[in-house]
Chain A
Amino acid sequence: MRFDRLGPAVEALAIPIAALAAAMLLFGVFMALLRQDPFEVYALIWKGGFASGFSWQNTLSRAAPLILTALCVALPAQTGLMVIGGEGALVLGGLCAAVVGHALAGASPLEVKIAMALAGMAAGGAWIAAAGALRQYRGVNETISSLLLTYIAIALFNHFVEGPLRDPASLNKPSTAPIGEANMLGQFPGLDVHWGLGFGFLFCIATYVLVRHTTWGFALRVVGGNPRAARLAGLPVGALVLGACFLGGAAAGLAGMVEVAAVHGSANASLMAGYGYAGILVAFIARQNPIAVLPVAILLGGISASGSMLQRRLDLPDATVLVLEGVAFLLILASETLYGRFKIFKSMVTA
């Protein structure tokens, strides 16, 4: 690493870690007030999320969709757009993947899987690109339009899953027809983690390379920095915005496909588990940096995975981890204000 980048890099690590520590202190006091031993609580969270191979598998399975939905925020953010509609892209991606998976029942499993991934990515990408197009060509705010599109997507999803596409065999829980056991995404060899995690990692690293090390990515960031200057420089601003939105939506759509093809086996209401909204927070805490999305998503996945451990051992409600996550997120978001205020990080630039 070059020395002139060291200061900001250390700052970008130190500030969120300090905020996380403050959140853990605050939550520890809260636990102590409820007559729980905070050290035991944290030990159990560690144990439930990160201590054993089993808990890592649980953590990583939860992190996979979060990585992808966070990219749905981080990619458009490079062009200065704030998209919060990942949940909509996820459910539509899952629905399209399930339909394609069932329709191609006779084909070879590999072809079906590829077709499902493409269908999910196309559906999610088109949905978010629509929000980007509305912004670019009609001036409609993309934050609000993507939120509205999410509700429209959920209504469409419910309409199809409970109506025309409902599998008559799914009595208690309306679902589409199953994609079939052979077409499910398998596990990593030797691990109890599905391939969705691999998709997440690949997408994340590809996005990082694309954004930080290609001219296309540089153009994206120019648009995000100053759209007028980008237009003066002759950059195709509209195409760049739409491209970033499409790729972001494709990531969220792929998350839906992964949930269908690796977890549920068909599209049903379990898809709406709030991954789209949690992904927004992951992206913000990663400060829209595609590579930072990975550790943040894994941390969040680990904390969520430890909820049942706390419930079993200490008889705490399963929402306990939500409180910890909420406190941590609010403090890390607030710590945004601290950047550039400490001389020590600046002095490293000349070190």
Chain B
Amino acid sequence: MIELGWWGVPIAVLGGAIRVSTPFLFVSLGECITEKSGRINLGLEGILVMGAMSGYGVSYASGNPWLGVIAAGIAGSLLGLLHGLLCNLPRVNDIAVGIGLMLFGTGFAFFLGKPYVQPKAPNLPAIAFGGWSDSPQIQAALQVNPLFLIGIALALAIAWALRNSRWGLVVRMVGDSSDAARAMGYRVNTVRTLATAVGGFLAGIGGSFLSLFYPGSWSEGLSSGQGLMAVALVIFARWNPVRCFYAALLFGGAGSLGPALQSVGVSSGYYLYNAAPYVLTLAIMIATCSPQRTLAGAPGELSINR
């Protein structure tokens, strides 16, 4: 075994970023689509936990983890649909419904997931990209889950579709000016509901990654708030799906910086590294906002802009 010493730190951070970032990536892509349509869904935390539970349950019952991933997506899109339909009602506040959904989703998942705390469900396989190296650290860092690669492909596809496809244009128009969309004959509420359901689908898949790959089992303390952070990630990425990917890597990497430094003997400030992404996001918001102007790139109809 080769002793890596200080080189172990960036390798561990990179490995951690790849391992931990997938749920961040999926929830932020989902939130990005929802917010592009002009709504904000703070309930992704509940959807994520629900996805983790249903993915694990279906994988356990069927023996096929990929079926679990799909089930997680479906469960997530149902909750997203619920959020979308409730917010279609006039005067119903999307942020409050999001927090209600967070409570409902986690509660329902804990309720239904009680029987799955003990049994071991088949997990998703990993692809080993580190076979060329003798170093176990590098091999461990390059154990990549297929969902990570799917997430990258999705980020590129969504970025392309938002810019170039018909539905991408409709979503953006609804998000930037509901009056314009209405004048064009599009049903604003329908588009937003569907965008929230699609966002829920992606967030559910993000949850299934937690229970089916890393950490790879179902428990009530599974999520560490990745769903709530999606909102911060999307702002950090300025509503751009490709930048969502970088933001997910950064948020994931920041979480593994503390443990990596601890392994080489630097243990001070362990928890402060976890806060780094939030400080950065806040700094970006402070730097780019002014009383006259909101965040550049934000959809015009978003309630947090008004």
Binary B-proximity of A135-162 (CB < 8 A = 1, otherwise 0): 0111111011101110110111011001
The answer on a CB contact under 8 Å between B269 and A159 is: yes
The answer on a CB contact under 8 Å between A152 and B290 is: no
Residue numbers in A under 8 Å from B93 (CB-CB): 284, 333, 336
Given known pairs A148-B281, A322-B107, the reply for A159 and B272 (CB within 8 Å) is yes
The answer on a CB contact under 8 Å between B103 and A141 is: no
The answer on a CB contact under 8 Å between A337 and B92 is: yes
For residue B302, which residue of chain A has the nearest CB?
A: A141
B interface, size bucket: 35 or more
Q: How far is the CA of A143 from the CA of B108 in the complex (A)?
A: 26
| A320 at the binding interface (Cβ < 8 Å) | yes
Residue numbers in B under 8 Å from A281 (CB-CB): 96, 99-100, 103
Q: How far is the CA of A42 from the CA of B102 in the complex (A)?
A: 24
Minimum CB–CB distance from A120 to chain B (whole Å) comes to 21
Q: How far is the CA of A284 from the CA of B42 in the complex (A)?
A: 15
| A259 at the binding interface (Cβ < 8 Å) | no
Residue numbers in A under 8 Å from B102 (CB-CB): 277
The answer on a CB contact under 8 Å between B279 and A333 is: no
A97-148 contacts to B, CB under 8 A, are 134, 136-141, 143-145, 147-148
The answer on a CB contact under 8 Å between A337 and B285 is: no
Residue numbers in A under 8 Å from B99 (CB-CB): 84, 277, 280-281, 284
Which chain B residues have a beta carbon within 8 Å of chain A's beta carbons? 42, 46, 82, 86, 89-93, 95-97, 99-108, 110-111, 114, 220, 225, 228-229, 231-232, 235, 268-272, 274-275, 278-279, 281-282, 285-286, 289-294, 304-305
Binary B-proximity of A310-326 (CB < 8 A = 1, otherwise 0): 00000001111111011
Given known pairs A141-B304, A330-B100, the reply for A325 and B107 (CB within 8 Å) is yes
Which chain A residues have a beta carbon within 8 Å of chain B's beta carbons? 82, 84, 134, 136-141, 143-145, 147-149, 151-152, 154-156, 158-159, 162-163, 277-278, 280-281, 284, 317-323, 325-327, 329-330, 333-334, 336-337, 339
For residue B108, which residue of chain A has the nearest CB?
A: A323
Residue numbers in A under 8 Å from B110 (CB-CB): 317-319, 322
The answer on a CB contact under 8 Å between B286 and A148 is: no
The answer on a CB contact under 8 Å between B86 and A155 is: no
Residue numbers in B under 8 Å from A84 (CB-CB): 42, 95, 99
For residue B269, which residue of chain A has the nearest CB?
A: A159
Q: How far is the CA of A151 from the CA of B274 in the complex (A)?
A: 9
The answer on a CB contact under 8 Å between A144 and B231 is: yes
Contact of A329 among B91, B103, B232, B268 (CB under 8 A): B103
The answer on a CB contact under 8 Å between B268 and A334 is: no
Contact of B106 among A318, A322, A330 (CB under 8 A): A322
Show 20 A/B contacts (Cβ-Cβ < 8 Å), sorted by A: A136-B291, A137-B291, A140-B289, A141-B285, A141-B305, A144-B304, A148-B232, A148-B285, A156-B271, A156-B272, A156-B275, A162-B270, A277-B102, A280-B99, A323-B104, A323-B111, A325-B107, A333-B96, A334-B86, A337-B89
The answer on a CB contact under 8 Å between A140 and B106 is: no
Q: How far is the CA of A63 from the CA of B204 in the complex (A)?
A: 32
Residue numbers in A under 8 Å from B235 (CB-CB): 144
Q: How far is the CA of A281 from the CA of B104 in the complex (A)?
A: 12
Q: How far is the CA of A134 from the CA of B287 in the complex (A)?
A: 11
Residue numbers in B under 8 Å from A319 (CB-CB): 107-108, 110-111, 114, 220
Given known pairs A145-B282, A325-B103, A334-B97, the reply for A139 and B271 (CB within 8 Å) is no
Minimum CB–CB distance from B151 to chain A (whole Å) comes to 23
Residue numbers in A under 8 Å from B294 (CB-CB): 139, 141
The answer on a CB contact under 8 Å between B293 and A139 is: yes
Minimum CB–CB distance from B281 to chain A (whole Å) comes to 6
Minimum CB–CB distance from B119 to chain A (whole Å) comes to 16
Q: How far is the CA of A317 from the CA of B103 in the complex (A)?
A: 16
Residue numbers in A under 8 Å from B89 (CB-CB): 334, 336-337
The answer on a CB contact under 8 Å between B232 and A333 is: no
* Residue from B108, B270, B282, B290 whose CB has the most chain A CB atoms within 10 Å: B282
The answer on a CB contact under 8 Å between A326 and B272 is: no
* Residue from B92, B104, B114, B292 whose CB has the most chain A CB atoms within 10 Å: B104
Q: How far is the CA of A327 from the CA of B97 in the complex (A)?
A: 11
For residue A164, which residue of chain B has the nearest CB?
A: B268
| Extra inter-chain contacts (5) besides given A158-B274, A159-B269, A325-B103, CB under 8 Å | A138-B286, A141-B289, A281-B103, A323-B111, A330-B97
The answer on a CB contact under 8 Å between A337 and B91 is: yes
The answer on a CB contact under 8 Å between A329 and B92 is: no
Minimum CB–CB distance from B111 to chain A (whole Å) comes to 4
Given known pairs A134-B286, A162-B270, A336-B93, the reply for A322 and B103 (CB within 8 Å) is yes
Minimum CB–CB distance from A164 to chain B (whole Å) comes to 9
The answer on a CB contact under 8 Å between B289 and A139 is: yes
For residue B290, which residue of chain A has the nearest CB?
A: A139
The answer on a CB contact under 8 Å between B95 and A148 is: no
Minimum CB–CB distance from B88 to chain A (whole Å) comes to 9
For residue A337, which residue of chain B has the nearest CB?
A: B89
The answer on a CB contact under 8 Å between A152 and B269 is: no
Q: How far is the CA of A60 from the CA of B289 in the complex (A)?
A: 42
Residue numbers in B under 8 Å from A322 (CB-CB): 103-104, 106-108, 110-111
The answer on a CB contact under 8 Å between B275 and A152 is: yes
Q: How far is the CA of A145 from the CA of B282 in the complex (A)?
A: 7
Contact of A333 among B100, B107, B231 (CB under 8 A): B100
Q: How far is the CA of A302 from the CA of B275 in the complex (A)?
A: 35
The answer on a CB contact under 8 Å between A152 and B100 is: no
The 10 closest A-B pairs by CB, nearest first: A322-B107, A326-B104, A155-B275, A319-B110, A337-B89, A158-B271, A329-B100, A159-B271, A139-B291, A317-B114
